[in-house]
Amino acid sequence: MSTDDDCLFCKIVARDIPATVVHESERALAFRDISPQAPTHVLVIPKAHFQDAPALASADPVALAEVVSVGAAVAETEGLDAFRLVFNTGAEAGQSVFHTHAHLLGGRKLEWPPG
């Protein structure tokens, strides 16, 4: 499994930095966002380090599918009938940690278009 010693999310996977983990699978980890933008805001990441969703899809499509499946499982556990699962790719799209992650947002009406 590839990791990046300077990556915040790799440090969370390694349990070097604490996080409120809500779900874990073989290839993915889900934890609460420290700056929630909705009543439910969970980050779902692959345990292996990939810069963004396209890189993950190209290198390990099974892990990408697992990230999405874990997001759906967390939504169900959280009692969400409707939710948003968002991947930001690149700084101009709002990606601030360059380790693939999906934002699971729910618990309130989500407007469109977003930000």
The residues assigned a catalytic role are 101
**Partners of residue 43 on adjacent β-strands:** 31, 103
Say how far residue 9 (Cα) sits from the centre of its chain. 10
**Partners of residue 85 on adjacent β-strands:** 104
Give the torsion sign (CA, 25, 95, 64, 110): positive
